């Protein structure tokens, strides 16, 4: 499955890189199935991905950020966010990714996950029960050390005030704008926490945002919790949205309590 998902990701990368910072990338061309604006770069990435899926002939259902659920009568569903971090790409900020996962029914049923950094081409990949890699080299989360801690925290107009309380617990805090890629940084031991808590459910994360990165993080030794401290699970539905805390060291679950 890795070669097939890599093929899809490379197709997306080839399509979107020439558009960075362009008017075509920023043009609002419609709405995604959840009602959020669909930008030109999203539409181009979506077409590149679906064309690649068709060419490869995976034989899966498809759940995407940009289009409705495609039921092909298959057991497994491919869950994709063609560009996670669209606004970064539109503004030519070099941090955005494509997230692709394959599994059944819900987040806990994900079997394969791939996140590609569309700027660098770095590939994070995991198979359930098989560990995680970055560019084919095994990755692992790190043990939490408060003095060396790095927190990745969602901030902005839709961020909960709790986010600022979390930020004050670390001397190094960043907000990069691609949940999938930020969770992979936690998986690879570059950061300790990714915290995303919105003021309302309408602006929380969807399954397409985290399907791949949740598996990658878990296979690297970390965990994803909801804001109440329970292990995160989500249904294969664009309407299911949740805030979360993704940690490398599972003892950091206490941040959600």
What's the gap between Cα 152 and its chain centre?
14
Res. 250: pLDDT tops 70: yes
What's the gap between Cα 63 and its chain centre?
14
Mean pLDDT of the chain: 94
pLDDT on residue 137: 98
CA gap 29, 86 in Å, rounded: 13
pTM over 0.85: yes
Res. 153: pLDDT tops 70: yes
Q: Which tokens sit at 122?
A: 């770095």
Residue 254: pLDDT band with limits 50, 70, 90: confident
pLDDT in tens, 71-121: 999 999 999 999 999 999 999 999 999 999 999 999 999 999 999 999 999
Cβ neighbourhood burial of 42 (10 Å; 0-12, 13-18, 19+): buried
**What domains are defined for the chain?**
2-138 (3.30.540.10), 146-256 (3.40.190.80)
Q: Which tokens sit at 97?
A: 């990714």
Q: Under DSSP, is residue 156 helix (H, G, I), strand (E, B) or coil?
A: coil
Contact 210, 218 (CB under 8 A): no
pLDDT in tens, 209-230: 999 999 999 999 999 999 889 9
CA gap 109, 182 in Å, rounded: 22
- What's 235's DSSP letter? B
Residue 67: pLDDT band with limits 50, 70, 90: confident
pLDDT on residue 64: 93
Angle between helices 179-187 and 207-219 (to 10 degrees): 10
């Amino acid at each position: 499955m890795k070669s097939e998902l890599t093929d899809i990701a490379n197709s997306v990368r080839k399509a979107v890189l020439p558009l960075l910072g362009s008017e075509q990338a920023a043009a609002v061309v419609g709405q995604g199935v959840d009602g959020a604006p669909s930008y030109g770069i999203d539409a181009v990435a979506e077409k590149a991905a679906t064309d690649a899926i068709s060419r490869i002939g995976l034989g899966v259902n498809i759940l995407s950020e940009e289009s409705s659920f495609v039921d092909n009568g298959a057991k497994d569903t491919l869950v994709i966010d063609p560009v996670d971090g669209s606004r970064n790409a539109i503004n030519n900020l070099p941090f955005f990714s494509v997230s692709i996962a394959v599994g059944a029914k819900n987040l806990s049923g994900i079997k394969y996950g791939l996140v590609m950094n569309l700027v660098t081409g770095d590939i994070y990949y995991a198979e359930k029960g098989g560990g995680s890699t970055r560019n084919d080299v095994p990755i692992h989360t790190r043990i939490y050390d408060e003095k060396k801690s790095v927190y990745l925290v969602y901030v902005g107009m839709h961020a909960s005030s709790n986010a600022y309380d979390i930020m004050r617990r670390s001397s190094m805090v960043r907000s990069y704008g691609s949940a999938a890629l930020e969770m992979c940084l936690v998986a690879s031991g570059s950061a300790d926490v990714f915290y995303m808590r919105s003021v309302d459910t309408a602006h929380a994360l969807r399954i397409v945002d985290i399907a791949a990165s949740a598996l990658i993080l878990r296979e690297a030794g970390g965990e994803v919790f909801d804001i109440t401290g329970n292990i995160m699970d989500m249904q294969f539905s664009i309407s299911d949205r949740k805030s979360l805390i993704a940690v490398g060291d599972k003892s950091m679950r206490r941040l959600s309590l």
